Amino acid sequence: MSDEQNPESAYYVDRQCMIDDVDLPSEELLTEWVTAALNGRLEQAELSIRIVDTEESQQLNSQYRGKDKPTNVLSFPFEMPEGITLDLLGDLVICAEVVALEAQEQKKPLMHHWSHMVIHGVLHLLGFDHINNEEAEEMEQLEREILASLDIPDPYTEQ
């Protein structure tokens, strides 16, 4: 199930919703968050955001990361073949149930946590990571700045 795309955006977001849930972000919100994350980093980009259940998240997390449990967001950067030029950035797979549970546990508004997961995933697609402390601090600071531009509080402070 893919929604219509906003033709005014330089970023094409293909929203693939594999579950029925009323508390999911619209394609417009997803595009807004992707735009905030990519603003000044890429002129144009295409990506898919697949919203899944815990079963699919767990299967993908096990297959690609060796962790047999569902997770909030998985990022799959598109590896461009040599000599090919496309605006394709990659895919994000976001588990709605995990995001909702984390938002509840962290006492955060659900859409604030969704925005953080989308921005976090997009930064991974751009090559940012949090394997060591220095990389983690750089990525977290970027997330804070991008979220602040959307009037969303620092996700790393206690609520």
The span from the CA of 121 to the CA of 77, in Å, is 10
3 within domain boundaries? no
Min mean pLDDT across 44-53, 66-75, 102-111, 131-140 is at 131-140
125 within domain boundaries? yes
154 within domain boundaries? no
Q: Which of 6-10, 77-81, 123-127, 154-158 has the highest mean pLDDT?
A: 123-127
Query: Count of alpha carbons within 13 Å of 150, Cβ hemisphere only?
Result: 27
Conformational region of residue 47, where left means phi above 0, alpha means psi within -120 to 50, and beta covers everything else: beta
44 within domain boundaries? yes
Question: Against a cut of 0.85, is the pTM above it?
Answer: yes
Percent of the chain past pLDDT 90, that is, above it, reads 74
- Let me know: does 11 contact 97? Beta carbons within 8 Å: no
pLDDT of res. 22: 79
For the chain, first and last CA: distance in Å? 35
128 within domain boundaries? yes
pLDDT of res. 7: 46
| Whether residue 131 has pLDDT greater than 90 | no
* Mean pLDDT over the full length of the chain: 90
Per the structure, the complete domain to which residue 56 belongs is given by 11-149
With cut-offs at 50, 70 and 90, classify the pLDDT of residue 1: very low
158 within domain boundaries? no
| Domain at 130, CATH number | 3.40.390.30
71 within domain boundaries? yes
When pLDDT is averaged across residues 80-106 and rounded to a whole number, the result is 90
The domain total for the chain is: 1
39 within domain boundaries? yes
Burial class (CB in 10 A: 0-12, 13-18, 19+), 80: exposed
